[in-house]
Chain A
Amino acid sequence: MSQIKDQMPTLIMGGSLLIYGLIAKTGALLPVAKYLHTHKTMDLQVTMTLIVGCIAIVGALINTTRKPGTSKLDTFVLRPLGGIVLILVMAMAIRWYAEPLMKIISKGLQPTLGFKIYKVLNLNYVVLGILAGVLLTNTWGIPKFAGEGVKCARFVLKMGVIMLGARYSFAELAKLGVYSVFLVGFFVLGTVFLVLWLGNLFKQPKSMTGVLSAGMGVCGVSATVAVAPVVKAKSAEMAYTIGTILSFGIICMFVFPTIGKLAGMSPVQFGAWAGTGILNSAQVAAAALAFNAVDIETLKVAEIFNITRVLFLPIIVLVLATWFGKETGQKLSFKSVVIDKFPVFIIGFLILFFMSSVGLFSPPSHYKGKYIDVSYNDRSQVTPEEWEVLNTAMAAGEFSGLTPTQLEAVTNLVEQHQIAGNFEDRADKKAFDKAGRARMTQLQGVLAAAKAKQITLSADVKAAIKHAVKQVKKKSKTVVTLTDFMIWFFAFGLIGLGMQITKKAITQAGGWPIVMGVIAGITKATLSFFVVLWLIKDVVLN
């Protein structure tokens, strides 16, 4: 009887998921989903809720008939089942309801506040997940049935870090000039050592210092998760690090564009500075757009500088493994650091990065699954109506305000019905692609100039050019799906991580991590500001 009572929450959650899935299948939830802009996920919502619901009910029924033993199935599936289902329900609620709702509320408050709270406070599934976990633990406490499941959080977070490797490709990173890579490397390593030194100065625990140094040096959540097992960091220390990085980023988002404008930085210089000085990628993008909303070069440079840091992750893991070993008085040989201490899941990250770089998921030149395909095919062309609009505008001289290169790109678009390289170069793929990409950039420039009201184009012409650019920008379904898995893994892991953070743990950490984070962040931002002004001219990308 007590076993049935113990399994009741899991049975109820499983049943509720099945009911939700069946209702969603009828299409009754579509109006709500459309309002929340989650209608594209309806198929996923049905599949996921039905599968998880069935597993929950079957697992709970098995648990009611027998006491969980010590077999692998019991240890890894049946015992933690209740907790796993609870976290999954929370993750679904956050991803399909809380996060979209936050976006809508934030948009509604924008006219009053003058900014989007969603963007400023970074209220995405990362923050909402941790907050939900912390709230549950510190109010009702972790329910008894969920205790074992919460222990799966780190394991799932590690899967998220491994999946992260699929989003990047070496070919995209190779676009960054050599000295830019050195610049990024210098600041990554410099920040790590600075935080380690500060930790020593303020007499902070090694685990806290180690994980904060990686988070501040590399890139927030993923680096924090990656380094935590190496320096034996506790959940509260991981959460503190993530909190420090995000809070510092919020300040940077406002301060960076203002300073950049006051200092008269060029778009490329600002992109390099934001990409080096701000940690969270969403905040980097926000700062870049705040500085320059029309020139995509700023955003592109900022993003490339930002993602290059991710590749320093394995190096930082090695550096911190050595540091932590020495600090805790262990004798470390090269073998013990590289083979024994090196986390296997970072090798997983590298394996997926390698697969991605050789073009297994997408053409090697992709970035987060996006790539440009200017080859001749139906999916790259504009529609006959759009072509007609462009042709008529060309004949009427509507493009007279364009620069010669922009005009050439538009003329070529009309001639070839799509963005492409020179027809006579089609056998030489490299030259063909290069010319096509250059034309795409010029057309993006035309759109940016029209947006900034430097030139006047009719709405139809703008729409046609926009579509032409969109047609050659492809997205790999494989990378998009792998990214979805990564997001779910992170959502699950971060909720579980939040659940392991008690008030006591937060109080124990005190305010020092924030002080150290702010000192390191300001130092890096100031130094990189001068270095970027001094070294980065207008050509950083190969």
Chain B
Amino acid sequence: MLKTLRRRTWLGWLQLSHEPSRLLVALAGIAFADVLMFMQLGFQASLFDSNTRIARSFNADVILVSPKAKNTQNLSTFSRRRIYQALDVPGVRNGIPLYSSILTWKNPQTRQDTLIQLVGFDPDDRAFALPDLNVQQDGLKLPDHVMFDRRSRGQYGEVLAAVDSGQIVTTEAEGRTLTITGLFSLGASFGTDGMLMASDQTFLQIFPRRNVGSISLGLLQLEPGADSDAIAAQLRTLLPNDVKVLTQAEFIAAEQNYWQRESPIGFIFTMGTAMAFIVGVVIVYQVLSTDVNAHLQEYATFKAMGYRHVYLLGVIFEEAVILAVLGFLPGFVLPIGLYHLAANATALPIAMTVHRAVVVFGLTLVMCLMSGAIATRRLQAADPADMF
């Protein structure tokens, strides 16, 4: 088998390389399809990634959440007593109530009403693992003082510069004057353009109808070395089912699952990837079937010499694999630059990953082999008896 392969003339490669211009067009087409797939999958991943960023920044091992919660922008509420009950479980060191709601505020720069997510917590607690937030969060103890996400999406350039230079920036929300006391860095997501952090007291004054006892999330911190899975299981049996107990990993997975299943994001980008794939199949099919047609007479001659049909199938699939590999190279390099551009333009985290490269290479291979399989139908016409 190996010997046969070594003896074999690499006809596919010789055919492709004999016509460099046709080969280049083919490679450009495949690279184009690859770039499209990389961009679609990249955006999809970055959206999932950005939506779980808040969840990943919680300084918590186990998270209590309402069963009615859909995602971190739409959390619903449950009773704060569940946290106190959880504190009875050995291994649970601390519980932090978190209040969250979407707020309409005036963008301090443009004075336009804009939606933003407001999160309230006790400034004495370390609710988030965000160093730049933690060092400044004492400033939140002043009433109506908030901290602002410097990586929010929108026109905030002047605000950020002003806050950074120590000026006092104020704006309005719900009839109150808010003072931006500092900045932290988290990042926009698909669900929200940005975040404001406030003390629980400020939060409750902005939203006077919210009860101090009905919280959005309960962040539980465990003793060092405690097994979060075991404690979560224990909490599930202890607490009534008006609250859901998730480890942080489960909470992140649930968040991602929401955006994947219940939002149109997953569908849209999967569809985009599929379209790119089909474009690729059509391009490669064009190239391969043109090539088969151009060599029909030669193929018929080979059959007359005693070559079997599978040999010619092998030539076509050889071409398909060569096209897939060579076309993938530019199709892999270009998106690295485009990801960089896109990350700057959209404030979303988007970068090349090994996993995605492997997936796209696999898709490219399947794409080329599918086109090859369709192109082989033309081979039936290479019948030496009809040709001579």
- Indicate whether A and B interact: no
What is the interface of chain B, defined by CB distance below 8 A to chain A? Answer: none
